[in-house]
Amino acid sequence: MCNNNMLRILLVVIFAVGLTMCLACGNAGFSNDASLQRGLADYENGKYESAIEHLKKVADQGTSEVPAARVQTIIGNCYNEVDQLDESIKWHKRSLQTDPKQHETWVNMGVAYRLLGEFDEAEKCYLEALRLNPDYPELHASLGALYVFKGDPDKAVEELELSLRLDNTLAVAHANLSLAYAMVNRFDDADRELKQAIVRGYQNGEVIRRRIDDLKAASN
């Protein structure tokens, strides 16, 4: 299991991927329905409590452009943002009752469980999302980072390499892979991936560099 220093690092490393997936679920086409339009606009603008208020008004019916299951998982995402994670999970579960095949909801619920520190539940959600949508590079990256959290670098390497085969532009995936390589003493590969992450705009390279150096020192 990762120590507290590792967990603090990875909260920085993984969160960018998780956040991107959550926001992607809010980018559906706007409806003429005033409550939905206002709720989605508030969500995109970070006004999460207002978004919850408006989206709840259409949570059961949705619209042709934004079905009920998606509205419900967006409400769950809003509760993530205001640190009400139990309420978030409740809404994601409601979304899955409406449509159990909506892979975005499984992703979002996995993020909520991860933020609660319930990594086994997060893994189950990510795996189900990948069963429904196996070619989702960001999700493979998040699952790989989760395996680093759980202290399973071999699985982390497998998922992160797959993520980058699907989309080599993911800076966070390169950073996570560099850390996973270092955990299995593949330090040359770790250095290469960290360079790739930084070239692609990764902002926390110094943090990862220090962790790689610590792992290298510990291996000597």
CATH number at residue 101: 1.25.40.10
Task: Give the mean model confidence (pLDDT) for residues 107-111.
Answer: 94
CA 203 to CA 193: how far, in whole Å?
14
The secondary element (H helix, E strand) that includes residue 120 is: helix 119-132
- Domain range enclosing 38: 4-219
Burial class from Cβ neighbours inside 10 Å (0-12, 13-18, 19+) for residue 109 reads buried
Residue 23, pLDDT > 60, answer no
Each residue's pLDDT tens digit, 148-169: 989 999 999 999 999 999 999 9
Residue 87, pLDDT > 60, answer yes
The fraction of the chain above a pLDDT of 90, given in percent, is 77
Task: Give the mean model confidence (pLDDT) for residues 47-62.
Answer: 93
Contacts of 210 (CB under 8 A, 6+ apart): none
Residue 56, pLDDT > 80, answer yes
Maximum mean pLDDT: which of 14-28, 57-71, 169-183:
169-183
Block residue for tokens 């220093």: 5
Q: How many domains is the chain partitioned into structurally?
A: 1
Question: pLDDT at position 64, please?
Answer: 75
Angle at 192 between CA 191 and CA 198, to 5 degrees: 90
Task: Give the mean model confidence (pLDDT) for residues 29-50.
Answer: 84
